[in-house]
Structure 1
Amino acid sequence: MTTVDPSQAQDVWKDVGKNVEFVSLALTRADQATAQAAVQEFADRSQAIIRSMRIREPEADLRVSIGFSNSAWDYLFPNAAKPKELETFAGVSGPEYSMPSTPGDLFLHIRANDQAVIYEVVAQYQQFLGEFTTVLDEVKGFRYLEGRAIIGYIDGTEAPQVEDAAPYALVGDEDPEFINGSYLFTQKWIHDMDKWNGLSVEHQDRAVGRQKFSDLELPDEEKAENAHNLASNTGDDNKIIRMNVPFSNPAEKITGTYFMGYARHWETTKEMLQQMVDMSDFLLTFSELKTGTLYFIPSRPLLDEIAGGELN
């Protein structure tokens, strides 16, 4: 019987980082054999780059996750087994709002204390990715004041602590070929900050379900019926590792949240998303969702197998 081993996983824990970069890439699909060979080289070189940067800048606390979507898996590894729950996100709809599905093949989630380290990692990665991919989206996030979400509330209070995260984040014996991997769902939200900031703090508290200053949870009877912490809560046994990262071009008045959800079971995340639209989560009333894509984050040993050409 195999056992989950967090040391064999990529960096899927709740350590948002001071600086963050998200890169979504599409395969050009010009030549399958060339793309397969290039991904094998990247799987190898990417881990060497991480090790090198951790030696060069040990205080940067570099963390990296690399993911593959369902479409990418089918193209790059057509003869290999596939994670049981890996699929193409089809979007979800509710009575008032919907969450879109958007394309993506490869995904990079990179965070560090030093933005220069992130720059160097992405620049080096692109030396190997640039010839067979195109960039769909690139977002630079940051740690907001006191680690709060961009709307001013403490983020992730209900997420499992790092020491408790493995059972919620990592695939286990239910899919032994992919043990220590994780399902990552990504979403890019753009907020109407003028609309949000025009609400009283009391109104905002009811909308989120917590007190803004103290972070204390409100009694259920004081929350709005579609309060965010009600709409996004699917029970203590169905938690995921959430990382909500602020990003902004403030002069252009473009401000948003990049939502990351790592999970042992994609079905858990999907249930949460459906509940959010079914309840018309208050956050949706002043937000526009731009993306929605599911990726699988292989374990580090599985990345080694990809590097060795064992998954083709």
Structure 2
Amino acid sequence: MNQSQNVTDYPNNNTIFMVWKFKDQTDIKSSFEKLCSLVNNLNNSFTIRIPNGRSSCVMGVGYDAWIKLGLPKPLPKELVNFESIRGAKHTAKATEGDLHFHLRGQNTAVCFDMALAISNVIKSAAECLEEIHGFRYWDGRSIIGFVDGTENPIGEERQFFAVVGEEDAAYKGGSYLFVQKYFHNMKNWGNLSTEDQEKVIGRSKMNDIEMEDDVKPVNSHSALMAITDENGEDLKIVRDNMPFGNPAKGEVGTYFISYASKFSTTRRMLENMFIGNPPGNYDRILDFSTAETGTLFFVPALDLLDQYSAESDS
């Protein structure tokens, strides 16, 4: 079948991101089998209950969990434990995580009910390391005021760049999922003029138009995220970033989430950001945004979830 999970869905209004880590000496296989059934059930149920709600549940599996669960070998070609990327000034941290859930819905209640159902199945076998409630901010902007995800592929390109193809036939339909939780220093960001903020991003703030190459700073975010292959063809990822925050605590941020057919594409972008291209020419946005987490997962195709489902006849 090789049908992918809902990795190419477009961003929705509400999201819950959850990262779980298995406890030692627990029956993780039984819980995982129940989760495989539940993911399919949640997607089917909310499609019927709220036909136009664009609800979805996506589950990713980390390297260590893949081994512990006895999932197929050899593993997906680029599934590894993410290793920190250290630049001269900033670091992309590597943090733990066995399972990741990406829950989307126009209605907050949809995301809440999916998160509750997942938690009820897994909480005896794992602990939740992260639960982030994201929301759509105005016209798809991040908290820092710029439209997020403008360079996302659209149409058929989303499938091409986000989903594994024949290059790893055993895992066709899967996807490499990478996540980071960023906190923004809004005081320092707010001290910049709009013009200086635009130079950091490489786009105009009001109408989201990209600067011309001869004007755009080489350390701007958009400049460093533009990468190509050996033939000069653009390489892209599918982002579904969402803002989150707790204003009373002065905490606001962006949950960065990318789906890609190859993790090497995402890693190159991260190296450009944190090390710089050339080295030292790091992404200026990092002077105002700090990555507190960084974890890689693989999102299996639906046939693999069906194979391990508690409802499977195999």
Structures share a fold, TM > 0.5? yes
Deviation (angstroms), 1:308: 5.9
Deviation (angstroms), 1:287: 1.4
Q: Please, which moves more after superposition, 281-290 or 230-239? A: 230-239
Report 1:38-77 matches (<5 A): 38-77=31-70
1:176 is aligned to 2:173: no
1:204 is aligned to 2:204: no
What CA deviation, in whole Å up to 9, does each residue of 1:40-81 have, x standing for no partner?
Answer: 122012211321222222232202210000011011116643
Query: Which residue is 1:11 aligned to?
Result: 6
Check conservation: 2:39, 2:58, Cα contact below 8 A. Answer: no
Query: Which residue is 1:188 aligned to?
Result: 181
Deviation (angstroms), 1:120: 0.7
Q: Please, which moves more after superposition, 86-95 or 75-84? A: 75-84
Q: Cα–Cα, structure 1 residues 11 and 285, in superposed 2: closer, same or farther, change >3 Å? A: same
1:21 is aligned to 2:23: no
Amino acid at match of 2:203: R
State the alpha-carbon separation in 1 of the partners of residues 32 and 169 from structure 2.
23
Amino acid at match of 2:247: P
Structure 2: segments with no counterpart, 5+ residues: 277-281
Report 1:118-157 matches (<5 A): 118-157=111-150
Deviation (angstroms), 1:162: 3.4
Deviation (angstroms), 1:128: 1.1
State the alpha-carbon separation in 1 of the partners of residues 98 and 112 from structure 2.
21
Query: Which residue is 2:307 aligned to?
Result: 305
Check conservation: 1:29, 1:35, Cα contact below 8 A. Answer: no
Query: Which residue is 1:270 aligned to?
Result: 267
State the alpha-carbon separation in 1 of the partners of residues 124 and 73 from structure 2.
24
Check conservation: 1:14, 1:242, Cα contact below 8 A. Answer: no
State the alpha-carbon separation in 1 of the partners of residues 308 and 84 from structure 2.
29
What CA deviation, in whole Å up to 9, does each residue of 1:243-301 have, x standing for no partner?
Answer: 22111111211000000110000111111101111222011001121100000001111
Amino acid at match of 1:112: G
Deviation (angstroms), 1:30: 1.5
Report 1:243-254 matches (<5 A): 243-254=240-251
SS of 1:222's partner is coil
What CA deviation, in whole Å up to 9, does each residue of 1:82-125 have, x standing for no partner?
Answer: 11110000110112111000000000000100000111111111
Q: Please, which moves more after superposition, 38-47 or 109-118? A: 38-47
Q: Cα–Cα, structure 1 residues 79 and 168, in superposed 2: closer, same or farther, change >3 Å? A: closer
When normalised by structure 1's length, the TM-score is 0.93
Q: Please, which moves more after superposition, 269-278 or 8-17? A: 8-17
Check conservation: 2:39, 2:57, Cα contact below 8 A. Answer: no
State the alpha-carbon separation in 1 of the partners of residues 311 and 284 from structure 2.
47
Check conservation: 1:14, 1:162, Cα contact below 8 A. Answer: no
When normalised by structure 2's length, the TM-score is 0.92
SS of 1:51's partner is helix
Check conservation: 2:225, 2:272, Cα contact below 8 A. Answer: yes
Amino acid at match of 2:252: T
Higher helix share: 1
Check conservation: 2:241, 2:257, Cα contact below 8 A. Answer: yes
SS of 1:11's partner is coil
Identical aligned pairs, as a percentage? Answer: 35
Amino acid at match of 1:295: F
Tell me the number of residue pairs that the alignment of Structure 1 and Structure 2 aligns.
304
Deviation (angstroms), 1:172: 0.7
SS of 2:290's partner is strand
State the alpha-carbon separation in 1 of the partners of residues 9 and 33 from structure 2.
28
Q: Cα–Cα, structure 1 residues 45 and 64, in superposed 2: closer, same or farther, change >3 Å? A: closer
State the alpha-carbon separation in 2 of the partners of residues 68 and 144 from structure 1.
29
